Structure 1
Amino acid sequence: MPAEWAAQSAVMLTWPHPGTDWSDSLAEVEPVFLDIARAVLRFQHVVLSCEHVVRLQELERDLNAYAQEQGLPGRVVAVPAPANDTWARDHGPIPISGENGPELLDFHFNAWGGKFPWEKDNALNRHLANFGSFGTTPLVPVEFVLEGGSIESNGQGTILTTSECLLTPSRNLSMDRASIEHLLAETLGGDRILWLNHGYLAGDDTDSHIDTLARFCAEDHICYVSCPDVGDEHYSALAAMEEELQQFRQTNGQPYRLTPLPWPDAIHGDDGERLPATYANFLIINGAVLVPVYGVLQDEDALNILAGLFPDREMIPVNCRPLIRQHGSLHCVTMQIPAGVVQV
């Protein structure tokens, strides 16, 4: 499984529509998706699917006109396809580097252990492949429940994940840690699995996806969410997660370089529920990093820290406050597609 900073051809977006949980907030959330799409088009293509054909046609026309007017290299590949929701990171295909080039693995998706309807999302990758969105790149089905947000790869055979997510019985009831490690080794080339047993975010529906907590930013470097407030409900779990990260070792026996990310001020929904704002949910693309921001004081610090971690890439802030109202953020609604797959 390549690292996210490997060369890409496109980013996949599953557009919100009135049949999703976004029905009452489309006016707030669609601008976020548009900001993401326009930013990606500056560097690469966008594979955009939507259940509503008329809206899809409008998006294809307007975004491609924008890209052409701005002289951008990216174009939109628009695909009419049914979807239950918009979390492309988790229902999208997971790329690997095969013997004959890139492959896309189509793991089973069951909405984080059956929490929500999922049948349309689980069929989406096949819709995209049948439409020709992935060219001649094979889409390989895998009979195992796995979401892209639950795994991180350093591109060298090390996979970072959380036990709370992958060992949840509602995903793969009959499999224990050893059998899951064996499957990840066979499918993703993960010869080392680093398990975090601590760490969570309030308001998170995913059972502690790794992409909300800790991310590889280089082969030997991990950035992670850190909570300095001892009075915060997250303090103990995230401090324990930090200790685990400090104990991890690279293949050469050396500890990983570690960089804590800022802890944003608490953000609550209209019902008083705390929302899962995290700066770990950034997206790496060709030449840039799209950074979720939330309109809080820590946004600037997060941008500065990530700029230091990715000095050769532009930092592009995206206001993701509307996204976290449905318990996800920027990385959660995107999935990168490797170089050589999407050709327009």
Structure 2
Amino acid sequence: MRTPADDGFFMPAEWHPHSRCWMAWPVRAEVWGERLDEAREAYVEVAKAIARFEPVTMITPSEQLAEVSVEVGSGIACLPLAISDSWTRDTGPSFMIDGKAGLVGVDWRFNAWGGLYPDHEADAALAENLLSYLQLPRYQAPLVTEGGALHSDGEGTLLAVETTLVNENRNPGRSRDEIETLLKAYTGAKTVIWLPEGLADDETDGHVDNVACFAAPGRVVTLAPGDAGDENHERLQRNLAILRDATDAQGRRLEVAELPQPKARRKADGTRLTLSYVNFYLPNDGVVLPAFDDPADDKVLEILEDCFPGRELVQIPALPILQGGGGIYCITQQQPEASLLIPEETGR
């Protein structure tokens, strides 16, 4: 069985130009409860913010197509496809390019974050259905993971969290080395930087999209450890130490920018919401990032303006989205432009 790496494909960086952003309409009532309408309003706000920079398509069940088209407005397209949930980062395909105008998709095995929801058949089929609609080649990966568990610099380096992938609820019986080999084969990566843990009470078992991401070749943004009494302090301290000591696929030591943690917020059952400023989206020429009605909101704007010079930053109130278990990055999936590499990526 041939893999994307065999055929010269790799996962581009988030800042590679996009042709479109894919989102999905919130439909799982048990996730949102009485806050479903509030969540939908927040999704629309994110979609409209991204649509200022690049095209956006909202995937929606066919029976809700007319209603959703009205809700999102004329500037956002809608595509009727079956869905179980609304997290396209995890359920959609991971797109790969080859630098020669080639574009393909990887269809990871999806089991609803280790079996959290038994009725996830539509989401398990979403990547295949979307790639069929787009008439793009599909690589079916023999690995259970989600898109939010991986982050690429576009130059051969992946970030991943061990508790997400090396987990009996995803890939039972497989060692980290075996999983790393498959990740490299299906993303074209040469180096995987493993972080030990994600955030406390993260339903995804610690997706990397809440703790660290690449901002440029050789530069990483991570969530700072913060107060020593915080339950995430030791986790984030270990992650920070690994990142500071890491070498990427090009032999560079990483420059690390730290974002503060927002203050802890909890659900009614006492579990902590996985609030993270790392969970942002990079549309063409922009940054769409969360606000949490927190004193750190303004500080994060300053840090990310330095990390992404020349981009327009748009901050969106994200607490309604976090009530469902994820953030802005989690509800978006970019489709890269199938074109020759931009200059920043030619070092690969």
Asked if these proteins are the same fold (TM beyond 0.5), I'd say yes
Post-superposition shift, 1:22?
2.4
Paired with 2:291 and 2:329, the residues of 1 have a C-alpha distance of 12
Post-superposition shift, 1:47?
2.2
Paired with 2:28 and 2:182, the residues of 1 have a C-alpha distance of 37
Post-superposition shift, 1:272?
3.0
Q: Structure 2: where are the runs of 5+ without partners?
A: 1-10, 340-348
Mapped contact 2:158–2:192 kept (Cα < 8 A): yes
Paired with 1:327 and 1:275, the residues of 2 have a C-alpha distance of 7
Paired with 1:271 and 1:107, the residues of 2 have a C-alpha distance of 32
Paired with 2:38 and 2:286, the residues of 1 have a C-alpha distance of 25
Which residue identity is paired with 2:82? P
Corresponding residue of 1:71: none
Post-superposition shift, 1:226?
0.8
State which of 94, 113, 126 in structure 1 corresponds to 2:128.
126
Corresponding residue of 2:115: 114
Post-superposition shift, 1:63?
3.9
Matched, 1:217 2:219: no
Corresponding residue of 1:82: 82
Which residue identity is paired with 1:93? P
Post-superposition shift, 1:121?
0.6
Post-superposition shift, 1:91?
0.7
Mapped contact 1:292–1:320 kept (Cα < 8 A): yes
Q: Secondary structure at the match of 1:283?
A: coil
Paired with 1:166 and 1:203, the residues of 2 have a C-alpha distance of 16
Post-superposition shift, 1:252?
5.2
Corresponding residue of 1:186: 185
Matched, 1:153 2:142: no
Q: Which moved more, 1:96-105 or 1:84-93?
A: 96-105
Structure 1 segment 167-178 matched on structure 2, within 5 A: 167-178=166-177
State which of 201, 204, 222 in structure 2 corresponds to 1:203.
201
Q: Which moved more, 1:168-177 or 1:84-93?
A: 168-177
Corresponding residue of 2:102: 101
Mapped contact 1:266–1:274 kept (Cα < 8 A): yes
State the Cα deviation string for residues 153-182 of structure 1 (Å, max 9, x = none).
000011111111110022111321222122
Corresponding residue of 1:162: 161
Corresponding residue of 1:32: 42
Q: What's the Cα RMSD here? A: 1.9
Once superposed, which parts of structure 1, at least 4 consecutive aligned residues long, lie more than 6 Å away?
Answer: none
Corresponding residue of 1:57: 66
How does the TM-score come out when normalised to structure 2? 0.89
Q: Secondary structure at the match of 2:228?
A: coil
Mapped contact 1:203–1:327 kept (Cα < 8 A): no
Give the 3 Å change call, closer, same or farther, for CA 226–18 of structure 1 in structure 2.
closer
Post-superposition shift, 1:58?
3.2
How does the TM-score come out when normalised to structure 1? 0.90
Give the 3 Å change call, closer, same or farther, for CA 253–107 of structure 1 in structure 2.
closer
Give the 3 Å change call, closer, same or farther, for CA 104–227 of structure 1 in structure 2.
same
State the Cα deviation string for residues 206-255 of structure 1 (Å, max 9, x = none).
11111100010011000100122111111112111111111101345442
State which of 53, 62, 77 in structure 2 corresponds to 1:43.
53
Identity across matched positions, percent: 32
Mapped contact 1:150–1:165 kept (Cα < 8 A): yes
Q: Secondary structure at the match of 1:275?
A: coil
Corresponding residue of 1:308: 306
Q: Which moved more, 1:206-215 or 1:24-33?
A: 24-33
Mapped contact 1:19–1:84 kept (Cα < 8 A): no
